[in-house]
Amino acid sequence: MEKNIGIYVHIPFCVRKCRYCDFPSFAGTDNVEIYFDALKSEIRNERDTRGRTADTVYLGGGTPSCVPPLYIENLMTELKKTYAISENTEISMEMNPGTVEKDALSVYRRAGINRLSLGCQSFNDKSLKRLGRIHSSEDIIKTWDLLRAEGFENINLDLISSLPGEGLKDMEFSLKKAIELQPEHISVYSLIIEEGTEFRRLLDAGEMKDLPDEEEQAEMDSLVNSILRENKYERYEISNFAKEGRKCKHNLRYWERGEYRGFGLGAASLIGNRRFSNTRDMVYINKPGGVLSEDRLLSREDEMAEFMFLGLRKTEGISSADFCTAFGTGIETVYGEQLKKQTADGFMEFSGGRYFYNDRGLEISNMLLPAFLF
């Protein structure tokens, strides 16, 4: 029997480009119609995964909520013609405060969207301005009230930690404001200054001198962790926290190396041992799915490394039995030395047949995970 699949669709339009953003996204909605035609054509022409059951669908961006909602509904109709999507499918959509109208929400519901992810980033207005966000903290609350009034009961709030000019008190403030709203899920990503962004330019020009240092960042991470834990949000991945039963199934699929097919600009897919990604260039609209920026067959070593560095992002870590089933060899045979060292150093634990990072390990996982690459 064919395994279930996850579907990702990228919608690259935003009201304005945020200063820290390196996603394939751009300001304005000039090419919306032509882009959605291209998307639908890419979906219609899909052969390898057609007809399979999609148990997760994720509409990300960009800002999917800044395009007219009928485009989203038509897109979902196209997906339902291609994949088996039921009311049990987790269908998530990203949105940003300041782009959400009440009428649009009923269209999203009609289209089957049952999980929302709201990009708040901070409740500190000064920080929101500095990030180049289009909304204020008040807009977050207004949007939140609309979402709940429309009956959405599975919502994630995104926050960013280690923002320039912010200290522990600011982080605590944003977290507490987020918790007051009682979302089902909270993601807290550390700010990374990526190449090609406005923030990178400012940093290189010496105009961003108030980023928290490493010690402050570590303190912030442990503050985030402890406040969310106290408030019954379980950390299940480095940056993701959920109320009971509310983990994001789609994102779990990435960390567990389940199969997924991505459509749209820059979207990535993993089918069997083939990893491929669409181009991030708008040439996409002329050849949807026809220009790839990456297309490779993973070797057994590549797959083992992915199993480790994706799986160890989860707080439950990885199962040594699953490794053995997947690769026909014991995990200790391949990675014995690394596992032993990270355990002896106090970053990793082994229990119930699973290796996993403890809080100390998760805090510096970006330094520990490369040990599993060949």
For residue 58, the minimal CB distance to ligand SF4 (Å) is: 14
Of 17 and 360, CB closest to ligand SF4: 17
Q: Is 143 near ligand SF4 (CB under 6 A)? A: no
Q: Which of residues 60-89 bind ligand SF4 (CB under 6 A)?
A: 61-63
For residue 18, the minimal CB distance to ligand SF4 (Å) is: 3
Q: Is 18 near ligand SF4 (CB under 6 A)? A: yes
For residue 151, the minimal CB distance to ligand SF4 (Å) is: 25
Of 6, 8, 9, 25, the residue at the interface with ligand SF4 (CB under 6 A) is 25
Q: Is 119 near ligand SF4 (CB under 6 A)? A: yes
The region of 57-65, 82-90, 234-242, 316-324 touching ligand SF4 under the rule CB under 6 A is 57-65
Of 65, 89, 92, 96, the residue at the interface with ligand SF4 (CB under 6 A) is 96
Of 89 and 96, CB closest to ligand SF4: 96
Of 62 and 289, CB closest to ligand SF4: 62
Q: Is 23 near ligand SF4 (CB under 6 A)? A: yes
For residue 24, the minimal CB distance to ligand SF4 (Å) is: 8
Of 119 and 288, CB closest to ligand SF4: 119
Q: Is 224 near ligand SF4 (CB under 6 A)? A: no
Whether the link from the prior residue into 353 is cis, omega within 30° of 0, is: no
- 3-state SS, the chain, equals CCCCEEEEEEECEECCCCCCCCCCCEECCCCHHHHHHHHHHHHHCCCCCCCCEEEEEEEEECCHHHCCHHHHHHHHHHHHHHCECCCCCEEEEEECCCCCCHHHHHHHHHCCCCEEEEEEECCCHHHHHHHCCCCCHHHHHHHHHHHHHCCCCCEEEEEEECCCCCCHHHHHHHHHHHHHCCCCEEEEEECCCCCCCHHHHHHHCCCCCCCCCHHHHHHHHHHHHHHHHHCCCEEEECCEEECCCCCCHHHHHHHCCCCEEEECCCCEEEECCEEEEECCCHHHHCCCCCCEEEEEECCHHHHHHHHHHHHCCECCCEEHHHHHHHHCCCHHHHHHHHHHHHHHCCCEEEECCEEEECHHHHHCHHHHHHHHCC
Q: Is 200 near ligand SF4 (CB under 6 A)? A: no
Q: Is 239 near ligand SF4 (CB under 6 A)? A: no
Q: Kindly report the CA angle at 298 between 22 and 337, in degrees rounded to 5?
A: 95
Of 6 and 12, CB closest to ligand SF4: 12
Taking the C-alpha atoms of residue 362 and residue 75, their distance in angstroms, rounded to an integer, is 38
For residue 39, the minimal CB distance to ligand SF4 (Å) is: 17
Taking the C-alpha atoms of residue 194 and residue 199, their distance in angstroms, rounded to an integer, is 8
- How far from 317 is each of 90, 172, 231, 301, 355, CA to CA, in Å? 23, 28, 23, 19, 6
Q: Is 120 near ligand SF4 (CB under 6 A)? A: no
The region of 19-27, 29-37, 71-79, 173-181 touching ligand SF4 under the rule CB under 6 A is 19-27
Q: Is 14 near ligand SF4 (CB under 6 A)? A: yes
Q: How many residues bind ligand SF4 (CB under 6 A)?
A: 11
Of 25 and 89, CB closest to ligand SF4: 25
Q: Is 114 near ligand SF4 (CB under 6 A)? A: no
Of 97 and 317, CB closest to ligand SF4: 97
For residue 161, the minimal CB distance to ligand SF4 (Å) is: 15
Residue 25, phi then psi, degrees to nearest 5: -155, 155
Of 140 and 308, CB closest to ligand SF4: 140
Footprint of ligand SF4 (CB under 6 A): 14, 17-18, 21, 23, 25, 61-63, 96, 119
